């Protein structure tokens, strides 16, 4: 089914938007080094993450051509390569202060990130006229659990440092966006930090998109986006912890790719050498033509057979636009069936129609050869596609692109193509989050209740697509449906029990009053099908969206935390984690949560008290009155 006239107009305008977004490096004014130190220049209307100077290209109104992390990485690469040197002069450090954030005690949910790391930097207006930097955003979680040891990775702006160079301007001299928190008491208390870059001395920059996994020896690996040691190329990086997440080694380069984005990590036994754990990193690589236009994206894989010491890389899938399928993919989520070593790689293939398509590549020889699973789904473009319409209202996020989003409050007006421009917004994606075990394979995905992409009247639901026989046959279970009280359900995560008989799914709910909460559902395999057993609240409080898309000028919007792009709030995924082979210590959950408040100072475009993005956690199924999901109910 073809999409509406409005959406077709947005898509048909993508070429013009791309051309504006991918100007030559010198035109962006990006610069590289000061006295041998790599810096990222600051622009009043450019975010360091998802830089607005490159972020105005849209695919189907839903996916920025280089999404979170990718923009910042590519901006730094352009900066280094431009070789422009600022005038010599001692840097001026701004005044650092603490933002007032409440610290509410909660017996059921625990804050994972350390709020004491959040801070504000402001500069004397006689020196430089600029609004404050409010480093206070944490969201987008990935976690591992090993008994009492729990490690959560997440994006965090609190690892940034900005300085002013006379004759040059403002610049980030450090940007550690890949953060982590560690608990050794099952998630009751936490310590927080930032994983090292490849070279903290030369290029102290990591760019987030965390993906964590653990091997059978208890080594924890943290994959994210970064650069090489000199900041000259974008890279996929990985950090290793051998002490249950108390510390991480310096990052090593998994692969060099200036167009890399949205990496994901899986670890599991090699089918041909079952005693050995292989590491698999998949990612999206955006491709540019000779004129600098982004023409598509490809799925890539890096594999390590020596415990993460070295990696070899290969391209797995490079789509071409055939009028129905687009040339863009995103959101791969590899998983390994520990009983067989079978590697599954589900990902989203964007279409030129309303429904995009989940595809799944499978390898039975440790990532050497692959084939696609067949769905034979009704209405699909081909037998290898599972169609799905991404939910959300189309919202103009200006430099952050035209995005599917959950919104709240009033439309500020002035959006492109007649679209709304809500100040409170969080962008949506459709990542097929997956799990596998004992021959079973399952993925969960959020789906619009409308067959039309961008339908402003639609709700959304969570669906689980399940196979007991490795993808030979399929069933689909609706985990939760929209209702009048709860019209939206998005960004699911899942965990599969060791015996592959129980599934736990967490997800965000937007209520009728526009506030968000997290819920969790448990499902069991009965009679060869998935059946929902219980649903109930995961977060103990509902929360507001942050002011992430504030209209500053007719052509520029900003997030209150200017380090991150517009319409970035809760992040693009949450996480569930379970100890290997253990059912007695529950499933650990972590998510982006805005229940706490932040007081933005005078001079901020969001001056005053408003919601703040943090990371909260709970344990599902734990036999404790403190944080267990005791109020689950059947619906």
Model pLDDT for residues 506-555, shown as the tens digit of each residue: 999 999 999 999 999 999 998 888 999 999 999 999 999 999 999 999 99
Q: What is the pLDDT of residues 4-40, one digit of tens each?
A: 333 333 333 333 332 223 222 222 233 344 455 667 7
Residue 75 pLDDT greater than 80, yes or no: no
How does strand 40-41 pair with strand 273-288?
A: unpaired
Q: What is the mean pLDDT of residues 102-106?
A: 61
pLDDT surpassing 60 at residue 581: yes
Are 507 and 480 in contact by the 8 Å Cβ rule? The answer is yes
pLDDT value of residue 613: 98
Looking at residue 320, its pLDDT comes to 95
Q: What is the per-residue pLDDT across 113-130, written as a single tens digit (0 to 9) for each?
A: 999 999 999 999 999 999
| pLDDT at residue 635, rounded to an integer | 36
E-only strand ranges, 110-233: 110-111, 119-122, 133-135, 138-146, 149-156, 160-165, 169-176, 178-183, 191-194, 205-206, 211-214, 220-227
Tell me: pLDDT of 634 over 80.
no
SS3 state of residue 7: helix
Q: Nearest to residue 213, comparing CAs of 146, 302, 118, 136?
A: 146
Whether residue 67 has pLDDT greater than 70: no
pLDDT band per the 50, 70, 90 thresholds, residue 577: very high
pLDDT at 177: 95
Residue with token string 């982590």: 180
For the segment 478-502, the average pLDDT, to the nearest whole number, is 96
Summary mean pLDDT of the chain:
87
How many Å apart are CA 309 and CA 304, to the nearest integer? 7
pLDDT score recorded for residue 2:
39
Instruction: Give the confidence band of 271 by pLDDT, cuts at 50, 70, 90.
Output: very high
Distance of CA 70 to the CA centre of its chain: 11
Structure confidence at residue 147 as a pLDDT band (50, 70, 90): very high
**Tokens describing residue 282:** 């998949």
Segment 448-465 shows an average pLDDT of: 96
Give the dihedral of Cα atoms 329, 81, 560, 17; nearest 10 deg.
-50
pTM for the structure as a whole: 0.91
Structure confidence by residue, pLDDT tens digits, 333-389: 999 999 999 999 999 999 999 999 999 999 999 999 999 999 999 999 999 999 999
Place of tokens 């659990």: 145
Confidence of residue 399 (pLDDT cuts 50, 70, 90): confident
pLDDT higher than 90, residue 302: yes
User: Is 80 exceeded by the pLDDT of residue 494?
Assistant: yes
pLDDT for the residue numbered 40:
74
CA–CA gap between residue 346 and residue 260 (Å, rounded): 18
Q: How far is CA 516 from CA 378, 510, 599, in A?
A: 33, 4, 20
For residues 167-182, average pLDDT? 91
239-269 pLDDT, tens per residue? 999 999 999 999 999 999 999 999 999 999 9
pLDDT classification of 583: cutoffs 50, 70, 90 = low
- Residue 305 scores a pLDDT above 90: yes
Q: Quick one: how far is CA 55 from the chain centroid?
A: 16
Identify the residue with better confidence: 14 or 189. Answer: 189
Give the mean model confidence (pLDDT) for residues 460-474.
97
Query: For residue 459, is pLDDT > 60?
Result: yes
pLDDT tier, 470 (very low <50, low <70, confident <90, very high otherwise): very high
Residue 103: per-residue pLDDT: 57
* Mean pLDDT confidence for 65-92: 60
- C-alpha 265/C-alpha 249 separation (Å) is 17
Residue 245: helix, strand or coil by DSSP? coil
Q: What is the pLDDT of residue 17?
A: 30
pLDDT, mean of residues 464-477: 96
Q: What is the pLDDT of residue 71?
A: 64
Helix (H) or strand (E) holding 33: strand 33-34
What does the DSSP 8-state code read for residue 199? B
pLDDT above 80: residue 46: no
pLDDT recorded at residue 45: 67
* C-alpha to C-alpha distance for 505 and 629, rounded to whole angstroms: 13
Of the CA atoms within 13 Å of residue 22, those in its CB half-sphere come to 23
- How far is residue 291 CA from its own chain's centroid? 29
Q: Using only C-alpha atoms, what is the Rg of the chain?
A: 23
| Secondary-structure breakdown of the chain: helix, strand, coil percentages, each rounded to the nearest 5 | 5, 45, 45
From the centroid of its chain, how far is CA 495? Answer: 18
Q: Count the neighbouring beta carbons within 10 Å of the beta carbon of residue 475.
A: 13
Mean pLDDT, range 458-471, rounded to an integer: 97
Q: How far apart are CA 94 and CA 56, in angstroms?
A: 30
Q: How confident is the model at residue 171 (pLDDT cuts 50, 70, 90)?
A: confident
Identify the CATH assignment for 5-88+97-398+421-593+606-620 out of 2.120.10.10, 3.30.110.60, 3.90.1150.10, 3.40.50.11540: 2.120.10.10
- The residue among 352 and 69 whose pLDDT is bigger is 352
Asked if pLDDT for residue 182 goes beyond 50, the answer is: yes
- Cα–Cα distance for residue pair 139/153, rounded to 1 Å: 9
φ, ψ of residue 135 in degrees (nearest 5): -80, 90
């Amino acid at each position: 089914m073809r999409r509406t006239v409005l959406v077709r107009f947005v898509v048909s305008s993508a070429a013009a938007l791309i051309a504006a977004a991918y100007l030559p490096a010198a035109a962006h004014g990006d610069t590289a080094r000061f006295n041998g130190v790599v810096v990222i220049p600051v622009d009043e209307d450019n975010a360091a993450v998802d830089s607005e100077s490159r972020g105005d290209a849209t695919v189907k109104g839903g996916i920025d051509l280089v999404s979170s992390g990718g923009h910042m990485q590519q901006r730094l690469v352009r900066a280094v390569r431009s070789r422009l040197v600022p005038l010599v002069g001692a840097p001026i450090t701004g005044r650092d202060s603490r933002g007032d954030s409440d610290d509410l005690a909660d017996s059921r949910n625990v804050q994972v990130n350390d709020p004491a790391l959040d801070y504000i930097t402001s500069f004397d207006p006689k020196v430089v006229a600029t609004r404050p930097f409010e480093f206070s955003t944490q969201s987008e979680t990935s976690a591992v659990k090993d008994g009492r040891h729990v490690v959560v990775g997440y994006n965090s702006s609190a690892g940034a440092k900005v300085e002013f160079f006379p004759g040059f301007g403002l610049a980030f001299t450090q940007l550690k966006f890949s953060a982590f928190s560690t608990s050794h008491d099952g998630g009751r208390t936490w310590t927080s930090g930032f994983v090292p870059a490849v070279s903290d001395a030369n290029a102290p920059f990591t760019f987030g998109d965390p993906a964590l996994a653990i091997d059978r020896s208890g080594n924890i690996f943290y994959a994210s986006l970064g650069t090489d040691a000199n900041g000259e190329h974008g890279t996929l990086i990985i950090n290793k912890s051998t002490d249950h997440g108390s510390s991480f080694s310096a990052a090593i380069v998994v692969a060099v790719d200036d167009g890399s984005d949205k990496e994901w990590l899986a670890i599991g036994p090699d089918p041909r050498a079952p005693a050995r754990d292989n590491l698999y990193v998949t990612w999206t690589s955006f491709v540019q033509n000779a004129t600098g236009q982004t023409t598509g994206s490809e799925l890539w894989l890096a594999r390590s057979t020596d415990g993460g010491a070295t990696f070899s890389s290969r391209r797995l899938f490079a789509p071409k636009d055939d009028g129905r399928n687009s040339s863009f993919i995103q959101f791969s989520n590899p998983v390994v069936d520990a009983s067989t070593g079978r590697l599954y790689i589900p990902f989203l293939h964007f279409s030129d129609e309303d429904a995009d398509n989940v595809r799944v590549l499978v390898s039975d020889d440790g990532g050497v050869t692959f084939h696609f699973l067949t769905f034979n789904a009704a209405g699909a473009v081909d037998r290898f596609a599972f169609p799905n319409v991404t939910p959300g209202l189309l919202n103009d996020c200006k430099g952050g692109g035209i995005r599917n989003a959950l919104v709240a409050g009033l439309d500020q007006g002035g959006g492109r193509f007649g679209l709304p421009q809500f100040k409170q917004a969080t962008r949506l994606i459709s990542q097929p989050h997956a799990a596998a075990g004992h021959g079973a394979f399952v993925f969960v995905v959020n789906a619009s209740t409308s067959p039309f992409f961008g339908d402003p009247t639609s709700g959304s639901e969570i669906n689980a697509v399940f196979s007991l026989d490795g993808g030979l046959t399929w069933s689909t279970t609706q985990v939760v449906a929209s209702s009048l009280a709860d019209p939206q359900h998005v960004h699911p995560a899942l965990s599969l029990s060791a015996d592959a008989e129980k599934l736990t799914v967490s997800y965000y709910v937007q209520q009728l009053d526009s506030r968000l909460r997290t819920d969790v559902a448990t499902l069991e395999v009965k009679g060869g099908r998935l059946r929902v057993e219980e649903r109930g609240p995961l977060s103990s409080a509902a929360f507001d969206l942050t002011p992430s898309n504030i209209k500053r000028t007719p052509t520029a919007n900003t997030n209150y935390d200017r380090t991150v792009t517009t319409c970035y709030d809760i992040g693009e995924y949450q996480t569930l984690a379970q100890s290997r082979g253990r059912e007695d210590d529950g499933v650990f959950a972590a998510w982006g949560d805005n229940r706490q408040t932040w007081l933005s100072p005078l001079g901020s475009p969001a001056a005053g008290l408003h919601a703040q993005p943090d990371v909260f956690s709970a344990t599902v199924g734990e036999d404790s009155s403190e944080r267990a999901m005791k109020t689950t109910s059947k619906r």
